[in-house]
Structure 1
Amino acid sequence: MQRVRPLPGYLIQRYQGWKATRYKDNQAWYRHLAHEGQHPRAMVICCCDSRVHVTAIFGADQGEFFLHRNIANLVPPFEPDGAQHGTSAAVEYAVTSLKVAHVIVLGHSNCGGVKGCEDMCDGKAPELEDSSSFVGRWMDILRPGYERVKDIKDPETRTRALEKQAVIVSLENLMSFPFVRDAIAEGNLSVHGLWHDIGEGEVEHYSAEADDFVPI
């Protein structure tokens, strides 16, 4: 571990500023969270993209959201095959242990992971086709969504449609988890699909009735 280095100075300064201000002003609340454990109302599955600031979008405080980030906000299908499934484990923990009332899948505009999937499926990213590509194999989850939009002629429209398919495919895959289906059937859980336009600050939600995304 000799190559592990201390934090950069600017991060240390930011931490010290947080400890002296926000933490100090809310010390009782932080201690409450530490001692009482977490009781989030919702799980949010969102992209790793640094531009997607979920807690800011919804004005959430510590302890309100159980957040899980991955490339392109994807949920894989239920596959108990003994492999390591970080997203599946997070969903299981949120639904069966934390008893969240909502699972929200949040996609976004200009998603690099989605664009990578589109390029891979178009034959323009051979490096992602390689079996050693973690990103490529992860983006295989979205191939069914690509098949639904591949015939759209306008490139920008097709990419945006695939971004929304990343949400829809994930919602479909969520329903393959028995404990998710059971919690919904019992009235203890609801699932939601959202898409966020980063530049415009807009959020759309998936409407099952319209089978489309509509503005909130």
Structure 2
Amino acid sequence: MLNAKPLPSYLAKRYHGWKATTYKENEAWYHRLSDEGQHPRAMIISCCDSRVHVTSIFGADQGEFFIHRNIANLVPPHKPDGQQHGTSAAIEFAVTALKVAHVIVIGHSSCGGAKGCLDMCAGDAPELEEKTSFLGRWLDILRPGYERIKDLPTPERGRAIEKQAVLVSLENLMTFPFVESEVKSGRLSLHGLWHDIGEGLVENYLPDVGEFRAV
């Protein structure tokens, strides 16, 4: 691969610092993780946004979370059409092979993906409407959420579409037969969270009241 270049020096220095400190102090634990494989209790589906750091938020160590990240933390509907579906594959592996007990979808404030969907559906981002836009076709998953909030006052739509990204994903998770069966058996539970980056707040969706409320 002729276009690949060496790791930037600042990242190489950070790696050597980690290897000499964190790794060295926990070397036996890393060997155990390597030898025994992973046994995470939860899968977390979060946004690609660099400001969303779920391991920091929940104080997690290596091996604790199976994490999948994508634009706007979206789960597509179950659709075994022979195409490549990275998110669906990750969910299948987590539920059927790793046997996680929890699948957690976490959205967040100032989400660029959610805003992109809002703009696209409102006709303000024609570039995303193009069939050739990978981003636009991915954000189509969130269109049902837009339909629910499109009549809200404009200032309220941003946060509302971010939370709809979580709810649409939870709904789509239940279209996967292996998720539905595990949920109905009680072996798997689904959770929806929304994180305010600036305030450090995490809200949990409570279906009995139909609202997100602070954890």
Same fold by TM (over 0.5)? yes
Q: Which residues of structure 2 form unaligned runs of 5+?
A: none
TM-score by length of 2: 0.99
2:125 counterpart residue number: 125
Determine if the alignment matches structure 1 residue 116 to structure 2 residue 132: no
Matched length: 215
Alignment of 1:1-216 (within 5 A): 1-153=1-153, 155-216=154-215
How far, CA to CA, are the matches of 1:156 and 1:51 in structure 2?
A: 23
Deviation at 1:6, TM superposition (A): 0.4
Deviation at 1:157, TM superposition (A): 1.1
Question: Helix, strand or coil for the counterpart of 1:205?
Answer: strand
Question: Which residue identity lines up with residue 48 of structure 1 in the other structure?
Answer: C
Deviation per CA, 1:149-197: give whole Å up to 9, x if none. Answer: 00011x2311100000000000000000000011111111000000000
Superposed structure 1 runs of 4+ greater than 6 Å apart: none
Q: State the identity as a percent.
A: 70
How far, CA to CA, are the matches of 1:169 and 1:47 in structure 2?
A: 14
Deviation at 1:83, TM superposition (A): 0.7
Deviation at 1:93, TM superposition (A): 0.4
- Aligned-residue Cα RMSD (Å) equals 0.5
Question: Which residue identity lines up with residue 53 of structure 1 in the other structure?
Answer: H
TM-score by length of 1: 0.99
Question: Which residue identity lines up with residue 10 of structure 2 in the other structure?
Answer: Y
Deviation per CA, 1:64-103: give whole Å up to 9, x if none. Answer: 0000000000000000011100000000000000000000
How far, CA to CA, are the matches of 2:203 and 2:186 in structure 1?
A: 24
Question: Helix, strand or coil for the counterpart of 2:213?
Answer: strand
Q: Which residues of structure 1 form unaligned runs of 5+?
A: none
Deviation at 1:3, TM superposition (A): 1.5
Question: Which residue identity lines up with residue 100 of structure 2 in the other structure?
Answer: V
